Amino acid sequence: MRAVIQRVSEASVTVDGTVTGSIGNGLLVLAGFEDADTKDDLEWLAGKIVQMRIFNDEEGVMNKSLLDVGGDILLVSQFTLHASTRKGNRPSYIRASKPPVAIPLYEQFIKMLETSANKKIETGIFGADMKVRLLNDGPVTIVMDTKNKE
């Protein structure tokens, strides 16, 4: 599983002109799933996301977690995170899970994030043409891959 985590002042996702998810201060998480992903991968990443100290403390040092600042999460599925660009100019998405595998992983990840953050997680709509708006704070952007845990 790959994720791009962005610290935001605000973020929202719109599908067909309707806002499906919106947050203020918190994290926008773009998540891509692959067939090899396990429950352990999802749990590890959910825990890292909510406990990662990437919010500023009183001295302006990134020393606080999402839990510490009471921030929210907007989760957006994004299969393009598994793009392979080795050959030619058209990316291949062969490693990205197809919907029958990815949707259950996505739904399970939402539940794990809700448990870890102890609050509702805002989302986009899996597989939809989504318009994502964000105000990146910092900017702070972290890329994580569960295959690189160690």
Write the pLDDT tens digit of every residue in 129-143. 999 999 999 999 999
**What gap in Å lies between CA 86 and CA 3, rounded to an integer?**
20
State the pLDDT at residue 10.
Answer: 98
Question: Of residues 6, 33, 55, 79, which has the active-site annotation?
Answer: 79
Q: How far apart are the first and last CA of the chain?
A: 14
* Residue whose pair of structure tokens reads 């949707």 in the numeric block: 103
The per-residue DSSP string of 26-76 comes to EEEEEEE-BTT--HHHHHHHHHHHHH---EE-TTS-EEE-HHHHT-EEEEE
Rounded to two decimals, the pTM is 0.95
HSE, CB side, 13 Å, CA atoms: give it for residue 11: 25
Spatial CA neighbour of 106 closest among 121, 95, 118, 89: 121
Determine contact, residues 26/8, Cβ cutoff 8 Å.
Answer: yes
Write the pLDDT tens digit of every residue in 60-91. 999 999 999 999 999 999 999 988 888 889 99
Determine contact, residues 128/76, Cβ cutoff 8 Å.
Answer: no
**Dihedral sign for Cα atoms in the order 15, 20, 21, 22:** positive
What fold is seen in the domain 2-148? Answer: D-tyrosyl-trna(Tyr) Deacylase; Chain: A; (3.50.80)
Please say if 80 is a catalytic residue: yes
Question: Of residues 6, 33, 55, 78, which has the active-site annotation?
Answer: 78
